Amino acid sequence: MSSAAQSIWQEPAQNQVPVQNAQQASGSSNANEWECPNCKTKATGKFCPECGTKKPEVSKKFCSNCGKEIKDGAKFCSECGTKVEE
């Protein structure tokens, strides 16, 4: 086994568990997690547990020409090249 492959396994050998899977199982990363714009606390609900600020709503932009969703900060549509309106 290569040294890179060996480094992802925890010891002892009879109880080998991939480190990445152990981190995922512990819930260290959550897709619903957001950062409070007021106090910078990581939260998962509708309100910040630290200061009570409501989770900001995500406003999506769409291209006026083709309708594709425009990513934050984009100046042009990635689908058709139309300039994004401010």
Q: Average pLDDT for residues 6-19, to the nearest whole number?
A: 53
Q: What is the pLDDT of residue 32?
A: 86
Strand partners, 74: none
- Encode pLDDT of 68-80 as tens digits: 999 888 999 999 9
Which one is predicted more confidently, 65 or 3?
65
Residue type (1 letter), 18 = P
State how far the Cα of 75 lies from the Cα of 13, in Å rounded to an integer: 52
Q: How confident is residue 60, by pLDDT bands cut at 50, 70 and 90?
A: confident
Q: How confident is residue 58, by pLDDT bands cut at 50, 70 and 90?
A: confident
Q: What is the pLDDT of residue 86?
A: 75
Q: In the chain, what are the domain boundaries? A: 1-30
CA distances (Å), 4 to each of 1, 8, 9, 19, 21, in order?
Answer: 8, 7, 10, 12, 16
